[in-house]
């Protein structure tokens, strides 16, 4: 059974995934509220327990994803290596949850998660349907990227800032450059920056031929980062929305 984007199955899956993401955000917010009532720091009490539970879930999900594509029946070096941005973001989510005080980890997770990996829910490139394990791993592994990013913000462990746009973009450009070099030497398409397009329709199809499409792709990513980072410096000024002084400094 194949999977066709923008159909009934996609719509049901999209709603289900949206519900999980809302739950992650609410879990972080409620944990922060409970700790605030008890005078516990933002990295203690309910927040710490919720973070640890989410960390364990992410470890299990990403381990299952890695094992699945390492199996001989699923192994294809042109596709199954954990080099796509969402694969690396899954590992990044684990690191960000494990070390929430390392701001760079949370910053990049927010950029790659909310900024880029959310596209997997709108234009999924999974080739198989809900009767296969691959279908469920695709969506669950992306939830394990975006969900932790939302949790870190809602629990006040991370606050995005306008000044994060350029470093996040620079790290993304570094990743893209490495993948371009790999793809040019192998004919692969990791990071979707190679001389090929995904089998399923995505925004990349509308950007023109390679390598010129890399320029508008970079512009789109920079614009997305501005959209998701800059507003936080406006609405979160002077501790609005419950961000503590400590969270603003981090």
Q: What are phi and psi of 128, to 5 degrees?
A: -115, 165
- Judge whether 116 lies within some domain: yes
- Judge whether 143 lies within some domain: yes
Give pLDDT, residue 210. Answer: 86
> How many domains, in total, are found in the chain?
1
- Judge whether 44 lies within some domain: yes
- Judge whether 224 lies within some domain: yes
Give pLDDT, residue 80. Answer: 87
Contact, 234 vs 163, CB < 8 A? no
- Judge whether 2 lies within some domain: no
Residues whose CB falls within 8 Å of the CB of residue 56, separated by 6 or more in sequence, listed in order: none
For residues 76 and 70, what is the distance between their CA atoms, to the nearest angstrom? 9
Q: Do you know the residue count of the chain?
A: 250
Q: Which of 188, 179, 194 has its CA nearest to residue 78?
A: 188
pLDDT in tens, the chain (250 residues): 667 778 899 999 999 999 999 999 999 999 999 887 665 665 568 899 999 999 999 999 999 999 999 999 988 898 889 999 999 999 999 999 999 999 999 999 999 999 999 999 998 888 888 889 999 999 999 999 999 999 999 999 999 999 999 999 999 999 999 999 999 999 899 998 988 776 666 777 778 888 888 999 999 999 999 999 999 888 766 555 555 444 444 4
- Judge whether 149 lies within some domain: yes
Q: Which domain holds residue 229?
A: 8-249
Please state, as a whole number, how many other Cβ atoms lie within 10 Å of the Cβ of residue 128.
Answer: 14
- Judge whether 12 lies within some domain: yes
- Judge whether 1 lies within some domain: no
The whole model's pTM is what? 0.88
Give pLDDT, residue 247. Answer: 45
**Running DSSP on this structure, what letter comes out for residue 132?**
S
């Amino acid at each position: 059974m194949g999977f066709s984007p923008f159909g009934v199955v996609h719509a049901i899956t999209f709603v289900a995934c949206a519900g999980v993401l809302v739950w992650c955000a609410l879990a972080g917010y409620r944990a922060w509220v409970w700790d605030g009532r008890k005078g516990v720091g933002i990295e203690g009490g309910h927040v710490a327990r919720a973070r640890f539970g989410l960390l364990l879930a992410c470890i299990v999900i990403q381990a299952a994803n890695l094992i699945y594509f390492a199996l001989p029946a699923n192994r294809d070096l042109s596709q199954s290596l954990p080099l796509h941005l969402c694969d690396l973001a899954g590992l990044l989510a684990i690191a960000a949850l494990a070390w929430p005080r390392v701001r760079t980890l949370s910053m990049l997770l927010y950029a790659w998660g909310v900024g880029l990996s959310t596209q997997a829910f709108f234009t999924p490139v999974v080739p198989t349907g809900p009767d296969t394990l691959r279908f469920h791993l695709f969506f669950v592994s992306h939830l394990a990227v975006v969900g932790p990013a939302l949790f870190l913000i809602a629990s006040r462990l991370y606050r995005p800032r306008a000044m994060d746009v350029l470093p996040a973009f620079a790290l993304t450009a570094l990743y893209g450059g490495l993948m371009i070099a790999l793809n040019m030497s192998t004919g692969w398409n990791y990071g979707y920056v190679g001389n090929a397009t995904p089998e399923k329709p995505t925004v990349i199809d509308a950007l023109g031929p390679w390598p010129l499409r890399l320029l508008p792709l970079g512009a789109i990513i920079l614009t997305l980062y501005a959209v998701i980072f800059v507003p936080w410096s406006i609405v979160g000024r002077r501790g609005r929305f419950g961000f503590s002084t400590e969270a603003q400094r981090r």
